[in-house]
Amino acid sequence: MSRRIAIVGGGLASLVAYATLRKGGLEPADIAVFGTDLDPAADFRRRAGAIRQRAMRSESDGHAAAASWPGLAVRSALRRRDPAPLVATLFDRYHPTVGEFLDHLAGVRERTAWDESFVRERIRRVRAVEGGFELDGHGVFPHVLLAPGHPGLERPAELAGDPRAVHAYEPHDYADRVTVVGAGMAAATEWLNALAAGSSVVSVRRREPERRPLNLPRPLFTRRGPASFHRTGVPQRVALLRSWSSPSYPCGRAWDEPLEDARRSGRFSVVPELNGAEQIICATGFHRGFRHDPLLAKLVADHGLETAEDWIVLAPDSTVPGLSDTERTLALAGVPGQWAFPAADTLAGAKYAARRFLQRVRRCPTR
């Protein structure tokens, strides 16, 4: 294979990286995208469908196009000939529907010719060799971006094999009595879904969730936000990443009023332990840490990479120190890239890694 750039992973972070490379002047023939599903929105579509998600938590800038402007609010206002999305975004209250977001992803996929670069293959090992990185016999690539996505659904150990239990991101309906384990965005969505279906709901959680509009504090999404984070030492950075991974969901009447009404009528309650409900929904997210991803675990073991608890230590530009130099680049995007950008598993985080990856490709004399 003659292509010089490889993106490993076929999800949203990969689409963002691909769109960024294409806008930067790279052609489809320069890039190989390795994944198992041609549709980069496939995983998101399944998970959003499972929890009946209707609107995005992200705002106007939460899109996959390479340039920040125009955002989704501008596109929506022009399409609808209605300034309401623009007014809403001034107050950080614009949230595209899931349908609008999926349409946007389909448009980016078509405009960038994603399908021309896609290779239906699961890469299981990345090895540093002379001239770049060898990918499972598919050739040597001087520049590789790893965006493997989440390593799998997290389930409480005590519910392993329990026929009452289903994960929130798996297809399911709602029983008359539902217990939801978890307290983040997926859990809050499931509380409302089950209540709307007529169920009584018990929320199992050991601490109260934080209430914030985005999944991390807003300053982390600004240009200056990562700078102070990069100045932290290893123990402090680990502590910050752990604190920011705590459950949260947005404030607002759309969330609070249905829950308060159900609480008053005895249909919603909070307990610290599991009870005897006929259905248990595990809104517990994903496994955390590179050890749960076979590709990343092998990469660390093969090359003795520096790690800090669950994270691979990265340079501020999302590259892997020791394996990236003036002639080759290995970078991480998506959730494995949190050491460089705490919100790496968001679209903003995907752009952070993608733009710095493009800069490295441009600077490399072997481009």
Mean of the pLDDT values across residues 177-187? 96
CA distances in angstroms from 121 to 87, 164, 220, listed in the order given: 44, 35, 34
| pLDDT for the residue numbered 236 | 97
Q: In what helix (H) or strand (E) does residue 12 lie, and over which residues does it extend?
A: helix 12-23
Give per-residue pLDDT as tens, 165-176. 999 999 999 999
Helix extents (H) in 172-224: 185-196
| pLDDT for the residue numbered 21 | 97
Q: What is the CATH number of domain 157-209+247-282?
A: 3.50.50.60
pLDDT band at 86 (very low <50, low <70, confident <90, very high): confident
pTM of the predicted protein model: 0.94
Domain with CATH 3.50.50.60 in the chain: 5-152+287-363, 157-209+247-282
d(CA 344, CA 337): 6
Residue 268's SS3 state is: strand
Mean of the pLDDT values across residues 309-326? 96
| pLDDT for the residue numbered 352 | 96
Where on the phi/psi map is residue 227: left (φ > 0), alpha (ψ -120 to 50), or beta?
Answer: alpha
- Of 280, 273, 285, residue with least CA distance to 204: 273
- Which tops the pLDDT comparison, 133 or 221? 133
| pLDDT for the residue numbered 367 | 45
| pLDDT for the residue numbered 320 | 98
Give per-residue pLDDT as tens, 269-289. 999 988 778 899 999 999 999
The neighbour count for residue 177, using CB atoms within 10 Å, is 16
| pLDDT for the residue numbered 365 | 60
Give per-residue pLDDT as tens, 35-61. 999 999 999 999 999 999 999 999 888
**CATH value of 5-152+287-363 in 3.30.70.1450, 3.50.50.60, 1.20.1260.10, 3.40.50.620:** 3.50.50.60
Mean of the pLDDT values across residues 82-111? 90
Distance from chain centroid for Cα 259: 27
